Chain A
Amino acid sequence: NAGVTQTPKFQVLKTGQSMTLQCAQDMNHEYMSWYRQDPGMGLRLIHYSVGAGITDQGEVPNGYNVSRSTTEDFPLRLLSAAPSQTSVYFCASSPSPDLLTGELFFGEGSRLTVL
């Protein structure tokens, strides 16, 4: 039972480079989110999606793009990496509103360093 799978687990970028963090879930969850966690801080919402084809901005969306072409996948794109984007990124999913408990299922995280 894979749950939420994130790749890569580690990545080092140079300032200005672009990359995509992949996220896939096999639980048929409608809701998916991307969070970032900086040292000593909680998780801050970057973007989220309530279903295929629907995305919206969270608390800290600048510098990131998302798309949701399928229920399973929710990639996060860094357009032009900056040192301020050095962080640990978590993808999460949540069941449909009919079964909604609000609980998020998280991936193991992707640690990104921007030099």
Chain B
Amino acid sequence: DQQVKQNSPSLSVQEGRISILNCDYTNSMFDYFLWYKKYPAEGPTFLISISSIKDKNEDGRFTVFLNKSAKHLSLHIVPSQPGDSAVYFCAASEIMYTNAGKSTFGDGTTLTVKP
């Protein structure tokens, strides 16, 4: 039973346009959500996060939206750049002491931004 799902394995967009990556979760105990970016042969790097008390968090070109009632979050990249081409992982965790650092990941979405 996969608790974090990224239903689109891949996404291709034109440079300058918006990229929207989606993520769904099933565990109602999750209260913190993160997006990571991964280039080939490298470890994932943190991109942006959102707490369940918010519905939006913005950092430059990256915005994450959270819809708790739908158990859905999305990452918007505007404008998309070729350097954004990577695998994006959605992750979720419970903010409790014993569960800190214990995140559940989706399978990832490969984003390709075409020049």
Contacts and interface: CB of A to CB of B under 8 A. Distances in A.
Interface residues of A, number: 31
A50 B45 contact: no
B105 interface: yes
Contact of A100 (B44, B95, B103, B108): B95
B74 interface: no
A42 B108 contact: yes
A8 to B, nearest CB: 14
B4 A42 contact: yes
Contacts of B42: 108-109
B91 to A, nearest CB: 8
A21 interface: no
B22 to A, nearest CB: 14
A44 interface: yes
B102 A45 contact: yes
A32 B1 CA distance: 25
B97 A104 contact: no
Judged by DSSP, the binding face of A is strand
Contact of A109 (B43, B93, B102): B43
Interface residues of B, number: 28
A33 interface: yes
Contacts of A97: 97, 100
Interface string B85-99: 000010101010110
B104 interface: yes
Given A31-B101, A45-B102, A97-B100, A40 B49 contact: no
Given A40-B9, A40-B107, A43-B89, A50 B44 contact: no
B101 A32 contact: yes
7 contacts: A42-B107, A90-B44, A94-B101, A102-B93, A102-B101, A105-B46, A109-B42
Interface of A: 4, 31-33, 35, 40-45, 48, 50, 56, 58-59, 90, 92-94, 97, 100-109
Interface of B: 4, 6, 9, 32, 34, 36, 41-46, 49, 89, 91, 93, 95, 97-98, 100-108
